């Protein structure tokens, strides 16, 4: 199958029609490149805050409420596009109510037959905890699709190996890592995390970031990154681990053809077998860690 990861700019939109036109064009471009799975970034949905006007978009709380008010229309649009093109789409994440007092950060996976399911971000960044008050999601999911088994690790979640490993232990072959980072350091953390998850799990990790300035919305005012598709630097994958990547801070898609059999093969025949040897770590931690202090002895 062919995977497409978006480096996606956030626009101040004059009306719903502008958003619908933009998303339709983005999906059509990826489909024209042969994509079967399209991955949009974390908090890409925040551009919908602009539909409430500048004052709403510029207020952290009002922006959340505005974005959530378009949930039904966003769902219908993505379902229509996925069905029309026969593709799977991980929509740009955004706020959603999950039964608690505060919204979670939710990414929805759509297929040709409609909504497949959603994944909520598990671990909040300091900004999400301390300033925006976004709640953590509860639980992980693996989506068993016609393209393969898919897990989602949203931005900061990609930096925590046990989350990805739980998904892989439940069958995930592809990890989707949508992100939204305002600095090069933040982007690099997600990039390094995503590459490490691909390495240690011998799987494919798809990194889709927001890019460019959006000064009208303080939650997403600066966006730095490059879209990429990573694999383990081993049998059947590039030695760098980078299968495909856009230029930094340049809007557009990066696409790569991935044969799921390549994942099974590298896990079975690779130069190293990280996936199979993961549990050996536990066998090496035999008790309390000894801290060796001076004076030292042989």
| pLDDT (0 to 100) of residue 30 | 98
| pLDDT (0 to 100) of residue 199 | 98
Give me the tens of pLDDT residue by residue for the chain, a chain 298 residues long: 999 999 999 999 999 999 999 999 999 999 999 999 999 999 999 999 999 999 999 999 999 999 999 999 999 999 999 999 999 999 999 999 999 999 999 999 999 999 999 999 999 999 999 999 999 999 999 999 999 999 999 999 999 999 999 999 999 999 999 999 999 999 999 999 999 999 999 999 999 999 999 999 999 999 999 999 999 999 999 999 999 999 999 999 999 999 999 999 999 999 999 999 999 998 888 888 889 999 998 7
Backbone φ and ψ of 291, nearest 5°: -100, 115
Domains in the chain, start-ordered, CATH in brackets?
A: 2-280 (3.60.110.10)
Cβ atoms 137, 106 nearer than 8 A:
yes
Length of the chain, in residues: 298
Rounded CA-CA distance 152/170 in Å is 13
- How do strand 142-145 and strand 104-111 relate by DSSP bridges? unpaired
Q: Is the peptide bond before 192 cis (omega within 30 degrees of 0)?
A: no
| Residue given tokens 């966003």 in the structure block | 74
Return the axis-axis angle of helices 16-32 and 71-85, rounded to nearest 10°.
30
Return the sign of the alpha-carbon dihedral for residues 120, 124, 127, 131. Answer: positive
Rounded CA-CA distance 3/107 in Å is 17
Q: Which helix (H) or strand (E) holds 165?
A: helix 161-169
Q: Where are the alpha helices (DSSP H) in 180-239?
A: 184-201
| pLDDT (0 to 100) of residue 254 | 98
């Amino acid at each position: 199958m062919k995977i497409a990861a978006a480096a996606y700019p956030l626009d101040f939109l004059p009306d719903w029609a502008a958003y619908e036109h933009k998303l339709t064009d983005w999906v059509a471009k990826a489909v024209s490149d042969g994509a079967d799975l399209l991955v949009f970034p974390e908090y890409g949905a925040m551009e919908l805050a602009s539909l409430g006007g500048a004052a709403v978009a510029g207020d952290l709380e009002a922006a959340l409420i505005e974005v959530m008010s378009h949930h039904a229309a966003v769902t219908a649009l993505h379902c229509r596009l996925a069905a029309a093109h026969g593709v799977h789409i991980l929509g740009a994440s955004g706020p959603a109510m999950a039964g608690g007092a505060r919204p979670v950060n939710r990414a929805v996976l759509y297929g040709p037959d409609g909504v497949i399911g959603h994944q909520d971000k598990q671990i909040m960044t300091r900004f999400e905890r301390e300033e925006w008050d976004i709640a953590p999601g509860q639980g992980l999911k693996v989506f068993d699709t016609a393209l393969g088994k898919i897990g989602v690790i949203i931005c900061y979640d990609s930096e925590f190996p046990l989350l990805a490993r739980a998904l892989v232990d439940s069958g995930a072959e592809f990890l989707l890592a949508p992100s939204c980072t305002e600095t090069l350091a933040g982007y690099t953390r997600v990039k390094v995390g995503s590459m490490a998850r691909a390495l240690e799990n011998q799987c494919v990790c798809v990194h889709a970031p927001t890019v460019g300035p959006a000064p009208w919305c303080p939650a997403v005012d600066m966006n730095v990154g490059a879209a990429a598709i990573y694999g383990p630097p081993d049998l059947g994958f590039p030695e760098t681990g980078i299968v495909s990547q856009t230029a930094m801070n340049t809007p557009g898609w990066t696409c790569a053809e991935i044969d799921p059999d390549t994942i099974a093969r590298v896990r079975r025949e690779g130069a190293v077998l990280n996936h199979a040897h993961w549990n050996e770590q536990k066998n090496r931690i035999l008790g309390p860690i000894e801290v060796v202090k001076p004076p030292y002895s042989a």
